[in-house]
Structure 1
Amino acid sequence: MKEAIGHLLNPSTLEPNLGLYSGTLGIDNSREYPSSFLSSWKKIDSVLVDLITEDLVLGIRIFRGPAACKAILNLWYTQTGKFRNLEWSGSVGKEFLSKGTFRNGYWSFTQGNQRFNFRLDDTIQQGYTHSSILLGDLNLQLDALVSTVERSNKPVSSLEKSGKDWIFRLISSDLSVRGQLSLDDEIQNLESSEILSYSITTGFSNQSFLPESRVYGNGTGKNTFRLNLSQDTGILLWRNGVPTFLETASFKKESLSYVLHDPSDQIELTVTPIRTTHQEISGFFGKKTRIERVEGKISGKIRMGNKKETIKKGFAILEV
Structure 2
Amino acid sequence: MNKNSLLLVILLFVTLVVNINGRCSSCKSLNEVCTPDVDFCRDNSFCVTGEDGTGECIAIPGNGGDCSKTKFCLDEYRCDDITKICVSQNYLGYGESCANNTQCSIGLTCTDGSCSSSLYPKCVMDVECRYNERCNYAGTCATPLVDGSACQYGGDCSLLSNCMNRVCVPYFSVSEGGDCYSDEICDTSQNLLCIGFICQNKNFYDKLKCNSTLDCGDVLNYRYCGCDSSVSPSIGRCHTIMDPKGLSKQDYYDYNQCLMDNKCPQVDSHIPASCSGGKCGFPFSKTYKSPCSSGSALFNKVNITFVIAILLTTAIL
Tell me the TM-score range normalised by the shorter chain.
under 0.3
Q: Answer 1 or 2: which has greater strand percent.
A: 1
TM-score (norm 2): 0.24
TM-score (norm 1): 0.24
